[in-house]
């Protein structure tokens, strides 16, 4: 009997953990089900193990387990299962079974007659459920965030390093002035200034492919220069993408011989004109909203850090890389663009704590964990220290009703203490690797360790009680 062939693509916004966990889970499930599979990963370093046109053509079906754009138009006409990356980790066998049992829907690429930006069609009709629509919007947003992250990390860390020479080391009129520090600050500021345009550009690119990117970039620049910040950038990205979709529909009647003219001339000229016309009047109210949000968060950080820490910690610990975690993480990342380094400090602490909770529990209560779990616990020290939350997922999955509240509590304590200590973190990733540029680094480590130890003790006592039963 010939083995069924499946191809897959995985990708998460940060491109560090979930991407590869989903790929590994799919490969193990395929081996168990006697299915041949090739998984293409869309990590932070780019596409690895890329699928060839021949492999896609020969496949019996496609699995997309991603929260970012993975160039799905390649899969036109194939049975496709399109889910969030977390589903690829949690239920890989179920995804493969959908294809084996013929339950996967046919994917039609953007621009195909009767479809919009790339729809999955079953029995000739597009899937219209709201969950699919929400996931599509989320995927577009995360595509922008994914491409924006390196600018945040690079720019933020360089600016922070410049401050090590002195707070005023980039000011030529001050006695602390240092030429090298000024260069770091200048280059870092440039990286930061591109964050919002890049965010908007790749939201639009996810919606309308390459024609949308230039229009999104200009819309993001308008938002950034007009003071509308990341909210304006998100809005500009979606508007730009759908402007191109609209233009594609309006210009569909032109001869195919003019396709080159459309992509190189009509789309950018008309798109940039339209995004300018649309963005100009909405920049002022969005700027007001953006500034109001910044003021609100700043006031909560100073007047009620415990409440903010509780909310941030609970969100980060609840699904560890899922939508709630990403909502807090993306907010912290985007606030860095506004110069708010406090919010991200709490988010980072809350994301680092879960794997450390597991790691400390396996050390403090070793006899209540199997050898495999203790080995995994040791690995979690490394994962936690480098801001990779997902190492705690296998442990939480065994009894989420008990374990998740413990992890959420530990994460919340770490975030609360971080806000009380007024720690500032200039980079959205890296964990303890960015300690040299963290303002209040010692307090930050203490906050994380306290939250992790509280969680570890509770989790260890739970495992002890479960073993005794």
For residues 152-173, average pLDDT: 80
Pairing mode of beta strands 79-83, 61-66: parallel
* Band (321; pLDDT cuts 50, 70, 90): low
- Contact assessment for residue 254 and residue 312, using Cβ atoms and an 8 Å cutoff: no
* Band (430; pLDDT cuts 50, 70, 90): confident
Q: Which of 298, 323, 351 is the last residue of a domain?
A: 298
Shared-domain flag, residues 156 and 91? no
Interatomic CA distance for residues 76 and 4, integer angstroms = 19
For residues 185-211, average pLDDT: 90
Q: What is the dihedral of CA 15, 16, 19, 21, to 10 degrees?
A: -170
* Band (176; pLDDT cuts 50, 70, 90): confident
pLDDT in the model for residue 442: 94
Q: Answer yes or no: is pLDDT of 408 > 80.
A: yes
* Band (341; pLDDT cuts 50, 70, 90): confident
Three-state SS string over the chain comes to CCCCEEEEEEECCCCCCHHHHHHHHHHHHHHHCCCEEEEEEEECCEEECCCCHHHHHHCCEEEEEECCCCCHHHHCCCEEEEECHHHHHHCHHHHHHHHHCCCCEEEECCCCCCCCCCEEEECCEECCCHHHHHHHHHHHHHHHHHHHHHHHHHHHHHHHHHHCCCCCCCCCCCCCCCHHHHHHHHHHHHHHHCHHHHHHHHHHHHHHHHHHHHHHHHHHHHHHHHCCHHHHHHHHHHHHHHHHHHHHHHCCCCCHHHHHHHHHHHHHHHHHHHHHHHHHHHHHHHHHHHHHHHHHHHHHHHHCHHHHHHHHHHHHHHHCCCHHHHHHHHHHHHHHHCCCCHHHHHHHHHHHHHHHHHHHHHHHCHHHCCHHHHHHHHHHHHHHHCCCHHHHHHHHHHCHHHHHHHHHHHHHHHHHHHHHCCCECCCCCCHHHHHHHCECHHHHHHHHHHHHHHHHHHHHHHHHHHHHC
Of 62, 65, 67, which is closest to residue 51 (Cα–Cα)?
A: 62
- Contact assessment for residue 62 and residue 80, using Cβ atoms and an 8 Å cutoff: yes
Interatomic CA distance for residues 345 and 445, integer angstroms = 11
For residues 303-307, average pLDDT: 86
Shared-domain flag, residues 65 and 140? no
Contacts with 107 (C-beta within 8 Å, 6 or more apart), sequence order: 62, 72, 75, 76, 77, 78, 79, 80, 82, 118, 119, 120, 121
pLDDT in the model for residue 143: 87
Handedness of CA 145, 147, 150, 156 (dihedral sign): negative
Shared-domain flag, residues 435 and 314? yes
Shared-domain flag, residues 280 and 408? no
Predicted structure pTM score: 0.75
Q: Which of 251, 280, 298 is the last residue of a domain?
A: 298
Q: Which of 268, 298, 328 is the last residue of a domain?
A: 298
Q: Crossing angle of helices 229-250/195-226, nearest 10°?
A: 100
Shared-domain flag, residues 325 and 275? no
| 227 Rama sector, left if φ>0, alpha if ψ -120 to 50, beta otherwise | left
Where do we find the tokens 């708010």?
Answer: 340
pLDDT tens-digit series, residues 257-293: 787 888 889 999 999 999 999 999 999 898 888 778 7
pLDDT in the model for residue 174: 83
Shared-domain flag, residues 152 and 90? no
Shared-domain flag, residues 156 and 294? yes
CATH of the domain at 45: 3.40.50.2300
Q: Decide: residue 364, CB within 10 A, 0-12 exposed, 13-18 middle, 19+ buried.
A: middle
Contacts with 418 (C-beta within 8 Å, 6 or more apart), sequence order: 309, 345, 346, 349, 443, 444, 447, 448
* Band (461; pLDDT cuts 50, 70, 90): very high
Strand partners, 122: 125
For the chain, the residue count is: 469
Interatomic CA distance for residues 47 and 245, integer angstroms = 26
Shared-domain flag, residues 274 and 360? no
pLDDT in the model for residue 29: 92
- Contact assessment for residue 14 and residue 429, using Cβ atoms and an 8 Å cutoff: yes
* Band (333; pLDDT cuts 50, 70, 90): confident
Shared-domain flag, residues 200 and 150? yes
pLDDT in the model for residue 273: 96
pLDDT in the model for residue 128: 47
pLDDT tens-digit series, residues 94-153: 999 999 888 888 888 765 544 445 554 444 334 445 567 777 888 898 888 888 878 877
List residues with catalytic annotation.
Answer: 12
User: First CA to last CA across the chain, in angstroms?
Assistant: 47
pLDDT in the model for residue 126: 43
Interatomic CA distance for residues 353 and 347, integer angstroms = 10
Counted domains in the chain: 3
Burial track 19-48 (b if 16+ CB lie within 10 A, e otherwise): bbbbbbbbeebbeebebebbbbbbbbeeee
Interatomic CA distance for residues 161 and 327, integer angstroms = 28
Where do we find the tokens 């490394």?
Answer: 382
pLDDT in the model for residue 119: 52
* Band (10; pLDDT cuts 50, 70, 90): very high
Query: Tokens standing for 183?
Result: 């260069």
Shared-domain flag, residues 32 and 92? yes
Shared-domain flag, residues 64 and 10? yes
Shared-domain flag, residues 116 and 149? no
Full residue range of the structural domain in which residue 204 is found: 133-298
The CA–CA distances, whole Å, from 42 to 11, 65, 210 equal 5, 10, 18
pLDDT tens-digit series, residues 435-453: 888 889 999 999 999 999 9
* Band (358; pLDDT cuts 50, 70, 90): very high
């Amino acid at each position: 009997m010939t083995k069924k062939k499946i191809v897959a693509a995985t990708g998460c916004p940060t491109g560090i953990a979930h991407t590869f966990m989903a790929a590994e889970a799919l490969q193990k499930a395929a081996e168990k089900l006697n299915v041949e599979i090739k998984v293409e990963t869309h990590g932070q370093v780019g596409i690895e193990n890329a699928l060839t046109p021949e492999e896609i053509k020969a496949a019996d079906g496609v699995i997309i387990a991603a929260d970012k754009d993975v160039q799905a138009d390649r899969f036109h006409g194939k049975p496709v299962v399109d889910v969030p990356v977390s589903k690829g980790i949690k239920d890989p066998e179920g995804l493969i079974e959908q294809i084996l049992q013929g339950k996967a829907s046919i994917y039609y690429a953007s621009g195909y007659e009767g479809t919009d930006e790339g729809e999955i069609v079953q029995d000739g009709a597009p899937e219209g459920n709201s969950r699919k629509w929400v996931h599509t919007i989320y995927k577009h947003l995360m595509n922008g965030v994914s491409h924006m992250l390196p600018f945040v990390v690079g720019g933020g860390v360089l600016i922070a390093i410049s401050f090590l020479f002195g707070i005023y080391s980039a000011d030529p009129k001050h006695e602390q002035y240092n030429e090298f520090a000024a260069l770091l600050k200048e280059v870092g500021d440039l990286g930061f200034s591109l964050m919002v345009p890049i965010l908007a550009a790749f939201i639009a690119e996810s919606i309308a492919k390459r024609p949308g990117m230039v229009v999104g970039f200009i819309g993001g620049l308008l938002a950034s220069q007009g003071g509308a910040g990341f909210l304006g950038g998100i809005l500009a990205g979606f508007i730009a993408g759908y402007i191109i979709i609209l233009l594609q529909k309006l210009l569909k009647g032109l001869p195919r011989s003019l396709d080159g003219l459309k992509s190189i001339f009509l789309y950018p000229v008309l798109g940039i004109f339209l995004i300018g016309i649309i963005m100009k009047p909405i920049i002022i109210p969005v700027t007001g909203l953006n500034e109001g949000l910044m003021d609100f968060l700043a006031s909560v950080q100073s007047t009620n850090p415990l409440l903010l820490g509780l909310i941030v910690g609970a969100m980060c610990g609840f699904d560890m890389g899922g939508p709630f975690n990403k909502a807090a993480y993306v907010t912290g990342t985007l606030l860095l663009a506004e110069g708010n380094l406090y919010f991200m400090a709490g988010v980072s602490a809350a994301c680092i704590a879960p794997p450390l909770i597991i790691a400390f529990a396996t050390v403090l209560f070793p006899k209540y964990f199997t050898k495999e779990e203790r080995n995994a616990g040791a690995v979690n020290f490394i994962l936690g220290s480098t801001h990779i939350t997902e190492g705690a997922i296998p442990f939480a999955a065994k009894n989420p009703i008990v374990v998740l509240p413990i992890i959420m509590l530990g994460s919340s304590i770490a975030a609360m203490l971080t806000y009380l200590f007024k720690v500032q973190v200039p980079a959205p990733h890296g964990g303890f690797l960015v300690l040299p540029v963290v303002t209040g680094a010692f307090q930050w480590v203490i906050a994380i360790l306290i939250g992790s130890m509280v969680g570890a003790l509770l989790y260890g006592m739970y495992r002890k009680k479960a073993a005794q039963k």
